[in-house]
């Protein structure tokens, strides 16, 4: 894709087998210099080792997306070590059993689950934008991509905290696109459908996967690489006139 070689990208939530890890690998294949960041630095290092084994450039960093100072340090490290920043992909989420596993409905969701989900998926993304956007504006160009979910359109009867946090990204993204747009900085959302990440494969049995596939206008369910390809496009010069948008990558499960 045009305009990616030697550009610098942060993937905030780069775990192997998942969307962040697949995206870090794809960006490196396109010639970008990648900072793979994750709450678990050992997980990020696995992704980096795969990138390096294929001849790409990547650095692993540990950080907590709910800690603004940690996100600020990550961005400052990137700018200092690699000479700046061109792209930011926010993809981190707490999909642990203690959080999304207890995310029920509005009548019963534990308040600690509600707050934790907002802290990671909405406030954490805002921290990244807050500290990355000035660098991108100073460069008069760049791209931010935030990860939502097609679940927002479904209005499911469970995971109220997750749906609420992901819905909030629409306003954050449109605001960022407006603030950055006249400075050459774009901000978009990628909204995956059911994606067979390493984490999903552990919890989605074959019967459930077949039920979901029946509702998708495609021959298969999504893979992390499908989302990675869209992020690479949104970072590239080929997407230079795409700003403030939410793009579904769900095999046609939702038509908006």
CA distance 14 to 45: 9
**What residues pair up with 11 in beta bridges, in sequence order?**
36, 89
Is residue 217 within 8 A of residue 254, CB to CB? The reply is no
Helix (H) or strand (E) holding 189: strand 185-192
| 223 phi, psi to nearest 5 deg | -120, 155
Q: Which one, of 132, 92, 184, lies nearest residue 9 by Cα?
A: 132
Tokens of 77: 């490290």
Rounded to 5°, the CA angle 60-65-66 comes to 155
Tokens of 93: 């989420």
What is each CA distance from 66 to 201, 209, 213, in whole angstroms?
26, 32, 34
Catalytic residue, from 71, 162, 208, 241: name it: 162
Query: In b/e form, how buried is each residue of 57-93, taking b as 16+ CB within 10 angstroms?
Result: bbbbbebbbbebebbbebbebbbeebeebbbbbbbbb
CA distance 22 to 197: 9
- Catalytic residue at 162? yes
Q: In what order do the strands lie in the sheet with 8-12?
A: 57-62, 33-38, 8-12, 87-90, 142-147, 185-192, 246-249
Catalytic residues: 162
């Amino acid at each position: 894709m045009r305009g990616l070689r030697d550009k610098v990208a942060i993937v905030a939530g780069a775990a192997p087998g998942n969307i962040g890890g697949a995206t870090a690998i794809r960006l490196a294949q396109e010639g970008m210099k990648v900072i793979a960041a994750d709450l678990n630095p050992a997980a990020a290092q696995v992704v980096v080792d795969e990138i390096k084994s294929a001849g790409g450039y990547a650095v692993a960093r540990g950080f907590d997306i709910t800690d603004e100072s940690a996100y600020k340090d990550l961005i400052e490290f990137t700018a200092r070590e690699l000479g700046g920043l061109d792209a930011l992909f926010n993809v981190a989420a707490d999909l642990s059993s203690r959080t999304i596993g207890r995310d029920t409905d509005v009548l019963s969701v534990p308040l600690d689950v509600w707050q934790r989900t907002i802290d990671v998926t909405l406030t954490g993304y805002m921290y990244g934008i807050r500290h990355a956007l000035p660098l991108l504006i100073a460069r008069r160009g760049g791209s931010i991509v935030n990860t939502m979910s097609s679940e927002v359109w479904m209005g499911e009867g469970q995971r109220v905290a997750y749906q609420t946090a992901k819905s909030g990204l629409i306003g954050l993204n449109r605001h960022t696109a407006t603030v950055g747009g006249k400075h050459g900085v774009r901000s978009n959302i990628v909204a995956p459908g059911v994606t067979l990440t390493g984490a999903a494969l552990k919890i989605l049995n074959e019967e459930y996967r077949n039920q979901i596939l029946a509702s998708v206008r495609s021959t298969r369910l999504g893979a992390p690489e499908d989302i990675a390809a869209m992020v690479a496009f949104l970072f590239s010069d080929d997407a230079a006139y795409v700003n403030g948008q939410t793009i579904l990558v769900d095999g046609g499960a939702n038509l908006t």
